[in-house]
Structure 1
Amino acid sequence: MRLLIVCLGNICRSPVAEGVLRPRIGMSTLAGRVELDSAGTGDWHVGQPPDRRAIANAAEHGVDISGLRARQLGAQDYQRFDWLLCADRANLRDVRARMPAECHAQAALLLEWAGVEADGEVPDPYTGGPAQFEHVFHLLDRAADGVIARLRHEYPDRRR
């Protein structure tokens, strides 16, 4: 299973989601069976680390995202990944608008796919302050739990 978390610039929401989810996958029965990455629909921050406020907020929760670098969603991602999990409806519209006719990936809202909130969105904290980054972290923490639960249910470990 290959998951790509998508937001606008790949410096706030999607790297935090990747940072929260990656170790949980690694410590679960899903280790080695799930590939995870993040990307943005825009190209403004390509090659840059996550926003310093996102790094600081994640670090307060024991999550290190400082080594991640922003990248833009590319045509190859539609073939490489099974699911493109979007932070909000605008990202989902952009992802679907770029989707080639013959495409492997499916696209959905992250919070809805994870069973956290039907039609739920992760708000962009970029123009906000610490409270907005904290709110986003908690949403993504809940989403990570939901992703793990869904993947365990849909792709149970058959090794015994």
Structure 2
Amino acid sequence: MTKKIAILFICMANYCRSPTAEGVFRSRAAAAGLDPFLLIDSAATSNYRIGHAPDPRSSDHAARRGIDLTGQRARQVTQADFENFDHIYAMDRQNLAMLKTACPPRFHHKLGLLMEFATRSDSDVVPDPYGGDVDGFELVLDYIEDASDGLVASLRERIGRG
């Protein structure tokens, strides 16, 4: 078997958005039959919540859509991640800038924004729902589902499963 395509999702604390992206994308990729070809993970640019489970609000809202986040634990992005992952998608421009600062220049081509794959939303970022109301967690799911569908379509073409 050829090397799996490794995809890493990034937000500030790996507590709300990036665990949601990992869970949603994992589900969408599995439904498309791509899971044998992918390695999927998420991480934080900060060290705020290392080892913690995702925000209970993220987990609850995701579960209502059939997405399980309960097995995830927050971790911080490492230098090895820049080498080992093929694609590293930030949830917003601030985290993308932090990644660009930490990432060796030879790996900058791996960095991007997840919302580049969205087709139903005109937002280029996934907003942080942490300090807001429950509607923010639903919006995050809507945006991430949209972008995940676009990313799955892109990978289907690349893998030859489309």
Under a length normalisation based on structure 1, what TM-score does the superposition of the two structures give?
A: 0.91
Post-superposition CA distance 1:110-138 (Å, at most 9, x none): 011x2435770000001011001111111
Q: Does 1:29 align with 2:33?
A: yes
1:67 corresponding residue in structure 2: 71
Post-superposition CA distance 1:2-29 (Å, at most 9, x none): 1100011001000011111112222323
Aligned CA distance change for structure 1 residues 118 and 96 (closer, same or farther; 3 Å): farther
Letter in 2 for 1:16: T
SS where residue 61 of structure 2 aligns? helix
The answer for unaligned runs of 5 or more in structure 1 is none
- Quick one: distance in 2 between partners of 1:93 and 1:6? 12
- Quick one: distance in 1 between partners of 2:53 and 2:21? 14
1:54 corresponding residue in structure 2: 58
Percentage of pairs with the same residue? 37
Q: Does 1:85 align with 2:89?
A: yes
- Quick one: distance in 1 between partners of 2:63 and 2:79? 32
The answer for unaligned runs of 5 or more in structure 2 is none
Contact 2:17 2:140 in 1 (8 A): yes
- Quick one: distance in 2 between partners of 1:104 and 1:8? 19
1:153 corresponding residue in structure 2: 157
- Quick one: distance in 1 between partners of 2:71 and 2:39? 18
Shift of 1:60: 1.3
Letter in 1 for 2:150: G
Contact 1:10 1:45 in 2 (8 A): yes
Which of 38, 45, 51 lines up with 2:49 in the alignment?
45
What is the CA RMSD across the aligned residues, in angstroms? 1.7
- Quick one: distance in 2 between partners of 1:115 and 1:131? 19
